[in-house]
Amino acid sequence: MTRTPAIRGIVETCINVSDMGRSRRFYESLFGFEVMEHAERFCAFRVGPDVLLLFTEGASGNPIAVSGGVIPPHSTVGAGHFAFAVSRDELETWRVLLQE
């Protein structure tokens, strides 16, 4: 398998997922992101100094209490997006890895 290049940071975040378990496994196994906190309707990953939050679609209308405070309601309707910062030198490696 191709070595996974480093993620340099999260440039933008805006994401809901339909299957939290599957999505969590994807981000943990492919990217190696560290889970900070999780529950049935959300998962917070540490990505260097940044945080990637996943929310189950339709289940994030209320605040979520976590050990560090409260995550306010989040929801994306329509086309959400996020972008990871990666090295230009590793872009082709990422393309191949994601297609695999």
| Residue 4 falls inside a structural domain | no
Q: Which domain holds residue 81?
A: 9-99
Q: What tokens appear for 91 in the block?
A: 């872009």
Is the distance from CB of 18 to CB of 57 less than 8 angstroms? yes
From residue 34, how far is each of 1, 15, 46, 54 by CA, in Å? Answer: 21, 17, 5, 13
- Number of domains, the chain: 1
pLDDT digits (tens, 9 = 90+) for 69-86: 877 777 666 666 667 788
Q: Looking at the domain assignment, is residue 1 inside a domain?
A: no
Q: To the nearest whole number, what is the mean pLDDT of the chain?
A: 82
Question: What token pair was written down for 56?
Answer: 């189950």
> For 33-53, what is each residue's pLDDT tens digit?
999 988 888 898 988 778 888
- Which CATH number characterizes residue 89's domain? 3.10.180.10
